[in-house]
Amino acid sequence: MSGVTWVYIMLGLYIVYAFYWGIKGYVTEKTSSGYAIGGRSIPFIAFLMAATAASFSGWTFIGHPGLIWRDGLAYAFASFYVLTIPITGAFFAKRNWLLGKRYGFITPGDMYAYYFNSEAARWLTVLTAFLYSMFYTAVQLMASAALFHWVAGVPVIFGAIFMAFICWFYVCSGGMKASAWVGVLQFILLVGGIIILGYYVITSEAIGGWKAFSDHVNALDKRFLDVPRVINWGIGAAKGEVAWTAVMCLTYMFALMGIQSSPAFTMWNFGQKSPAPLAWQQTFMSTFVVGFALFYFTAFQGMGAKVLELQGVLKFTKDSDVVPILMKTYLPPFVLGIVFMGAIAAIHSTAAPYINTGGSILLRDVYWRYIRKQQASHSEQIWVNRILATVVTAAALIVGLNSTAALVILGALATAFGFVQYIYLMGVHWGFRFPAVGANLGMLAGMVAVFLTYYVWPNPLSMHSAFWGVFAAIVVAYLCRGVGVKDDAETIKRQNEIRAFLDSIDSPTPAGRTWRNAMKWVVPIWYFFAIGPACIWGNNAFSFAGFPPLWSWQIAWWILGIIMMWALCFKAEMSTCTQVMLERAEKDKMIVVKEA
Amino acid sequence: MGVLQPENITVINQERRNLTMKPEDLWMIGIVAFCILFTATFGWGLWG
C-alpha cells in the first residue's frame, strides 16, 4: 500500500477514537462546569499526557526543525521550552487548582475579578483569551492543512476545513474531558512521530549514520554552530547575523512561559481532579520525555536537512517545507501514516483546548454574566458554549485562510500576551502588592508594549516582546502603587482572606522551605548559564560523543534542568500536595461564583 | 548489646522509612543515568 493510503487509514482510526470521546462526553456531561472544565474531575493520566501534548503545538513538530535548518544550533536553544513552559506551572498551577476548588471559579476571569474586585480584570482576560484562542488555533489549523496538502495532495482550503471539522466535532460535543482523553493518544503520537522521523533521517543512506553526520555538522559554517553575540545594542539582530543572541534565546523562552499562564491553561488547572499529576507532568513528561524528543531528534531533522541541502540531495525553499519533505523522502509507507498522525495530533492537541476554553470563557464571562445576568440553565449554557466554540473555530479558520502572512506574527503575539498574565497570577498566588488599578493598567500596558515591540520596533536590544510586555506591566503596576493608588476596604479584605487561606493550606514543610530558599538561587543561575547571557560560552566550552560544542552545552544543561525541575517541583514542594491538603480542599469551600 | 525491644525496632523501621528514597527520586536518578548513557551511545558508535 502507498504512503497516502496509510495516511488515510491512520486518519480514519484517529477520527474514530476522537469522535468516540466526543460522543461519550455529549451523553455524559450535563452541567455547565462538567462541559467547560470536565467537572473538576480530569484524571491523573489524562492530565499528565494531554496537558503535555497541549503545551507543545504542531509548531513544535513542523516549525521547530525547520527553524533549526534555517538558523542552526543557536535556534535549537528554543528546545529548552520543554522546561520553561512547565516551570510556569510549577509557579502557579497548584494554587490555581486550590483557589478554583475553594471559590468555585470556572474561568480565570472569575478568579482575577474576585481577587482584584474589578470587572476590568475579567474583560482584559477575556480579550487575551479570545485573541490567544483565535490566533493560536488559526496557526495550528493552517499548519495541519499545509501538511495534508504536502503529504496527500489535498487542497489547502479543503484540508483546513476538514482538519478544523475533526477538532471542532470532538471538542464541541464532548467538552474539556473529551479534549483531555483525545490528548492522551495525541501525546503518544506527537512524541513518537518526532522520534521516528529523526531516527529515519539520521540513519538514511544519504546521511550515513551518526559518525558521518557528526563530521558534516562539525564542518558547517560557524553561523550554524554558534550563538552570534550576547546582546545587540539596537533594534533586532545585528546585520548579517541570525536573530538568536543570548538574550533573545532567554527572552524567547519568556514568551513560551506564557503558554501555561494563558487563560486556557488556568482553566485546565481548574478542571483537574487533583493537583497530584502536576509535578510528574512538569518534571518528567515535559522536561524529560518531550526534551528527549527535541534535544536529539528534532535537531537531527533540522541539522540533517541542512547537511542534505548542502550535499545537494534535497532542496528546501522555506522552513515550513522541511518536515513534510523529510517525511515524504525518508519514511516508508506505513511509517509515513504514523508520523503524519503524529503531526496532526500535535496540531489538534493544541487547537482543541484553545477552542474549548475560548468558547467557555466567552460563555461564562460574557454571555452568562452580562447578557443573561447569571440566569441561564446548565443546558442553555452548554449549547451556547458549543455555539461560541464554533464561532472561535470559524474565526480561526477565516483568519487563517485570509491572512497567512500575518499568522506567524499573530501566533507569537498570543504567547507573549499569555506571559503578560503573569501580572495577575503574581498578585493572586504570591501576594505581590500592587493595587487592582495597577494590575489592570499594567496588563494593558503590557499588551501594548508587546504589540509595539513585535510590530513597530521589533525586538529592541534583541530581546523578545514578551520580556518588554512583562517589564512594562510590572513598572506600571508598581508605579500606581508608588503614586499612592490604594484598594478599597472590601478588596483588601478579600485579598487578605485568600492570602490567609493559601498560607494555611499550602505552606511548605521545614525541609521544603529549605529547598525553596536554595531554589531561589539555583533557578536564576540555571537560567543565566543554560539559556541566558552565559550560553555564549557554549560556543567553545566542551564537546562530547561527536556533538558540536553548542549542542553539547544544550544537552548538558537539559540534563541539569531535569534535576532542577525535580528539586523545584518535588523537593521544594511547589507542585506536590498532601493528603491533608486534598481533604481540606474538599471540605473548606467558600463558593463565590454561581454556576447556573 | 542488649536484645532489641519491639518498640525500638518500630523506631528503627520508622527512621529507615524516612531515609528511603521516594519514587520521584528513583525516577530522577534513573532518567539522568539514561540520558547520560544514551548520549554516550553516539560516542560508542552504536548509531553508525
Q: Nearest-CA residue of chain B relative to A556?
A: B36
Output the nine-digit C-alpha cell for A344.
496532526
**Cβ neighbour number for residue A590 with a 10 Å cutoff:** 10
Give A318's pLDDT tier (boundaries 50, 70, 90).
Answer: confident
Q: Does A562 touch chain B (CB under 8 A)?
A: yes
Q: Cβ–Cβ of B48/A203 closer than 8 Å?
A: yes
CA distance A38 to A274: 12
What digits encode the pLDDT tens for the residues A138-163?
A: 888 888 888 888 888 999 899 999 99
CA distances from B31 to A55, A300, A366, A558, B28 (A): 21, 21, 46, 12, 5
Question: Stretch B27-36: mean pLDDT, rounded?
Answer: 97
Over residues A538-559, the mean pLDDT reads 97
Of A544, A562, A566, which is closest to B39 when you measure between CB atoms? A544
DSSP H/E element including A96 = helix A81-103
- Closest Cα in chain B to A279: B24
**Phi and psi, residue A548, nearest 5°:** -60, 160
- Helical spans, DSSP H, in A403-540: 404-420, 422-430, 436-451, 465-482, 489-505, 510-530
The 10s digit of each residue's pLDDT in A231-255 is: 999 998 898 898 899 999 999 999 9
Q: pTM of the prediction?
A: 0.92
Query: What is the per-residue pLDDT for B1?
Result: 46
Closest approach of B37 to chain A, Cα-based (Å): 11
**DSSP for A281-350, written as a single string:** IIIIIIIIIIHHIIIIIIHHHHHHHHHHHHTTS---SSGGGHHHHHHHHH--HHHHHHHHHHHHHHHHHH
Say yes or no for a CB contact (<8 Å) between A570 and B22: yes
CB nearest A210 (choices: B24, B28, B47): B47
The amino acid sitting at A47 is F
Give the pLDDT of residue A173.
93
> Is A209 close to B48, i.e. CB distance below 8 A?
yes
Average pLDDT of chain A to the nearest whole number: 93
Cα–Cα distance measured from residue A164 to residue A371, given in angstroms and rounded to the nearest whole number: 28
DSSP 8-state symbol, A570: I
CB A138 within 8 A of CB A400: yes
Which one of A211, A214, A284 has the shortest CB-CB distance to B27? A284
Residue among A62, A69, A79 at smallest CA distance from A224? A69
Residue identified by cell 499573530 is A410
Closest Cβ–Cβ partner in B31, B41, B47 for A284: B31
* Average pLDDT for A345-357: 90
Distance, in Å, from the CA atom of A195 to the CA atom of A113, rounded to the nearest integer, reads 43
CA-based nearest distance A187→chain B, Å: 19
Phi, psi of A241 (to 5 degrees): -115, 160
CB contact under 8 A, A545 and B43: yes
Question: B18 in contact with A at a CB cutoff of 8 Å?
Answer: no
Give how far B48 is from chain A: nearest CA, Å: 4
Of all residues in chain A, the percent with pLDDT exceeding 90 is 83
| pLDDT for res A142 | 84
**Is A408 a residue whose pLDDT tops 70?**
no
Whole-angstrom distance, CA of residue A338 vs CA of residue A295? 21
Cβ within 8 Å, pair B27-A546: no
Least confident of A351-360, A541-550, B14-23: B14-23
Which grid cell is A62?
Answer: 513542523
Question: Which region among A52-56, A359-363, A368-372, B24-28 has the lowest average model confidence (pLDDT)?
Answer: A52-56
Mean pLDDT (whole number) for A371-382: 94
Which DSSP letter does residue A454 get? I
The partner residues of A555 in beta bridges, in order of sequence, read: none
What pLDDT shows up at residue A305? 97
| Confidence check: pLDDT of A77 > 50 | yes
Q: ipTM of this model?
A: 0.91
Are A109 and A364 spatial neighbours (Cβ–Cβ below 8 Å)?
Answer: yes
Q: Is the pLDDT of residue A389 over 50?
A: yes
CA distance A281 to chain B (A): 12
Task: Give yes or no for B28 touching A (CB within 8 A).
Answer: yes
Query: Which residues of B are less than 8 Å from A205 in CB distance?
Result: none
If one compares A572 and A402, the residue with the highest pLDDT of the two is A572
- For chain B, the first-to-last Cα distance in angstroms comes to 61
Mean pLDDT of A376-386: 95
Question: Coil, helix or strand for A251?
Answer: helix
| pLDDT at position A413 over 90 | no
Asked if A209 lies within 8 A of B35 by C-beta distance, the reply is no
Q: Do B35 and A562 touch (CB under 8 A)?
A: yes
Any CB–CB contact under 8 A between B39 and chain A?
yes
Query: pLDDT exceeding 70 applies to what percent of chain A?
Result: 99
Once rounded to an integer, what is the mean pLDDT over residues A353-359? 93
Question: Which residue shows C-alpha cell 531561589?
Answer: A520
Angle at A586 between CA A581 and CA A591, to 5 degrees: 115
A553 touches B at CB < 8 Å: no
Residue B4's pLDDT band, with cuts at 50, 70 and 90, is low
| Contact pairs from chain A to chain B, CB under 8 Å | 55
Chain A, nearest residue to B41 by Cα: A545
Mean pLDDT of all residues in B1-15: 58
